[in-house]
Chains A and B, each alone.
Chain A
Amino acid sequence: MSARAAPDRQDPMRIQVSRTGGFAGIARRHEVDTGGRADAAEWQALAEEALRSARDTPPTGVPDGFRYAITVGDRTVYCADPDLTGAQRTLISRVLKEGA
């Protein structure tokens, strides 16, 4: 990720991703706190893109498909496989991989 951040005009942001459902029915939950991260601006841009045109209620989804809840700050949106936008897919995989 880019190191070009502007921490002075960025509020630290918590990005949470919860994944439920799936064939195994095993839930995963991770979050990234952008505070103090050099790539905070990039995370913020990705999160905003992921939230754009996202639903405020969970979609029904498809049998065995993963369901996701993405929380950025105080807003939570929902999406489900396989109907994710590119930004949602990228954000989900990064948070689930990098998040604590």
Chain B
Amino acid sequence: MDHRLAFHDVVPRHHKYHRISDLGSFEYTYKAEITSVYKLTELENLYRIRIIDAEDRRHFSFRPGQFIMLELPGIGEAPFSISSSPSNHEDMELCIRTAGNLTGVLSRAARGARVGIRGPFGTSFPMERMHGGNILLIAGGLGLAPLRSPIAHVQEHRSMFEHVDIVYGTRDQSRMLFKFQYEMWKKDDINLHVILEKTDNGWDGPVGYIPKILEDIIKSRPDTFIEQTYAIVCGPPVMFKSVCTMLAERGVPMQKMFVSLERRMHCGMGKCCRCNVGSTYTCLKGPVFDYWTVMNLKEAI
């Protein structure tokens, strides 16, 4: 008798919906096109990207705080937070700092360049849960990039929130991101507080670190402010640690503060283990965590 074993072919015939349980979605990239590059600062550009296939574009949806893997064929792939409104299904925006190989090549890419996109991946800021409350959106440096998506949600649902404050700390005026949006935010009844680390020519705003300005905001609000407040904090670990510690001392419960962690990522799908904090996958259980969870992760801060 012939004992040739049967070959089981797992190559998917089609992969239209990219469910996370489909083998075919693992390495599937949406082909996308850079539709504009806008220089924000010396280091950061805002890239507007559009998935080419109209049907794919309709299916692609994300929540504020999620990230994508951006692929430049032959150069590499890296994680970036989506920095635009989830309700815009035409284009998404990425605010990217030139930091190395891939981001360097990207900074020289022209409009029309074709890139690959996988995702969206990871957890998001639970915006609906915050409806009815106050919201503090706190960013240090490049942390404003992931914050721009929840900010867009707030703008589009402004009546669902009470006090909304953006607190943004950065090094100096040349590093300020999204300057063109400040007036719009104010127009939408969002208080914007910018604090610089260094005194700067022609800067008449506050100088110092974020907790200082937060202190003033909290003081100026009614006593009931803190109990109805949620916070979203994005920035380097030292920054979110000091901010969250301070807010916790003022009475914001740890599970009402959300942070986004940055780790090295090579897959975004809980496989390569590069993103692990302790033994938690940042790409699956994060990047957005509530602060209570972060405090309980070994080696998080």
Query: Real complex partners, A and B?
Result: no
Question: Which residues of A are interface residues toward B (Cβ below 8 A)?
Answer: none
